[in-house]
Amino acid sequence: MTWWEGIVLGLVQGLTEFLPISSSAHLRVVGELLNGGADPGAAFTAITQIGTETAVLVYFRHDIVRIVTAWWRALRGQDGSGWRARMGAGDPDARMAWWIGLGTVPIVVLGLAFEESIKGPFRNLYLIVLTLALFAVVLGVADRVGAKRRTLDQMTPGHAVAFGFAQALALIPGVSRSGGTISAGLLMGYTREAAARYSFLLAVPAVLGSGLQQLVTSLDDFGRTGTPSLGVTVLATVVAFVVGYVVIIGFLKLVSTRSYLPFVIYRFAFAAAIVLLLLTNVLDPVSGTA
């Protein structure tokens, strides 16, 4: 992979990570088209996601500091010595920290359980086509029927777990982390903006943890035949950070006033484009998945 290809893939990651269209599916397809028919791999995808999640940390820095501070204050008993107070009964920010932790459990457990499938069979392009189309329907239905009344301070433990399992579905490329969690939020009655904001916050520990784990375990693989070098991966990650930060700003403004219909249409169009490329043998459905 050349430096220019790394820049392009960083752009793709930054543009698609926060939109409900699946960044991993786009990296899988665009990476193979650019990289001489080779899938850039799950490790490259996970590491470049560190860039976009760093953008979340920067954009939501005040929210994150407030949430962590409130959680620590409540845990130490400064809001009351009872267990309810320590769990954030009197402070929605402290509760939010617990909800993010609870919602992170499913993706950690399932990510470890299906690690080999994530790196291999789950990246099959026919499976990606199916998930792109299927979750386009889910997103469209959720946006149409969702009550859109709940705010984040109304979240419950059950909702936190449901958000977590919806995020875990994104272990399969084509589902979309934001698409899964936003759809779940809409179906549970949350507003578009509330579902999107929580989607961003919930992704931080899971994506950063996955990216750092992949970075540590993949250090010896960088630069081998068929894999991106460490330098190109870092460059793509930096580009993803810059582009991702801009996308966050625009996306949050967009979802507060517009429906998700354009993203539903795009998912179907992208799935159709992949099918066409497969039928014409431009793409290999199992490139790099063995």
Integer angstrom CA distances of residue 194 from 49, 52, 63, 149? 22, 19, 13, 9
| Amino acid code (one letter) for 125 | L
* DSSP characters over 43-60: HHHHHHHHHHHHHHHHHT
* Structural Rg of the chain based on CA atoms: 19
* DSSP characters over 108-137: HHHHHHTHHHHHTGGG-HHHHHHHHHHHHH
**pLDDT per position as a tens digit, 179-216:** 999 999 999 999 999 999 999 999 999 888 888 877 77
Structure tokens at 64: 């994150």
Residue 197's SS3 state is helix
**pLDDT per position as a tens digit, 46-83:** 788 889 989 999 999 999 999 999 999 999 999 888 98
Query: What is the pLDDT averaged over residues 155-177?
Result: 93
SS (H, E, C) 215-256: HHHCCCCCCCCCCCCHHHHHHHHHHHHHHHHHHHHHHHHHHC
Integer angstrom CA distances of residue 277 from 12, 119, 123? 18, 22, 16
Give the per-residue pLDDT at 221. 66
What is residue 80's DSSP assignment?
-
Give the per-residue pLDDT at 228. 75
Query: What is the pLDDT averaged over residues 107-112?
Result: 90
- With b meaning 16 or more CB within 10 Å and e meaning fewer, what string describes 55-79? bbeebbeeebeebeebbebbbeeeb
Give the per-residue pLDDT at 24. 87
- Higher-confidence residue of 221 and 34: namely 34
Does residue 3 register a pLDDT over 70? yes
**pLDDT per position as a tens digit, 26-39:** 988 998 888 666 66
Least confident window among 141-145, 155-159, 205-209, 223-227: 223-227
Question: What is the C-alpha separation between 181 and 166, in angstroms, rounded?
Answer: 5
Least confident window among 103-117, 133-147, 181-195: 103-117
The beta strands (E) that lie in 144-209 are given as none
Least confident window among 2-6, 149-153, 213-217: 213-217
Give the per-residue pLDDT at 290. 43
- Higher-confidence residue of 144 and 256: namely 144
Give the per-residue pLDDT at 34. 85
- Higher-confidence residue of 120 and 223: namely 120
Does residue 109 register a pLDDT over 70? yes
Contacts of 175 (CB under 8 A, 6+ apart): 22, 131, 135, 169
Per-residue confidence at 222, pLDDT binned at 50, 70, 90? Answer: low
Give the per-residue pLDDT at 147. 83
| Amino acid code (one letter) for 68 | V
Average pLDDT of every residue of the chain: 89
Question: What is the C-alpha separation between 270 and 225, in angstroms, rounded?
Answer: 29
Residue 173 in contact with residue 122, Cβ under 8 Å? yes
Give the per-residue pLDDT at 214. 76
| Amino acid code (one letter) for 116 | E
Residue 82's SS3 state is coil
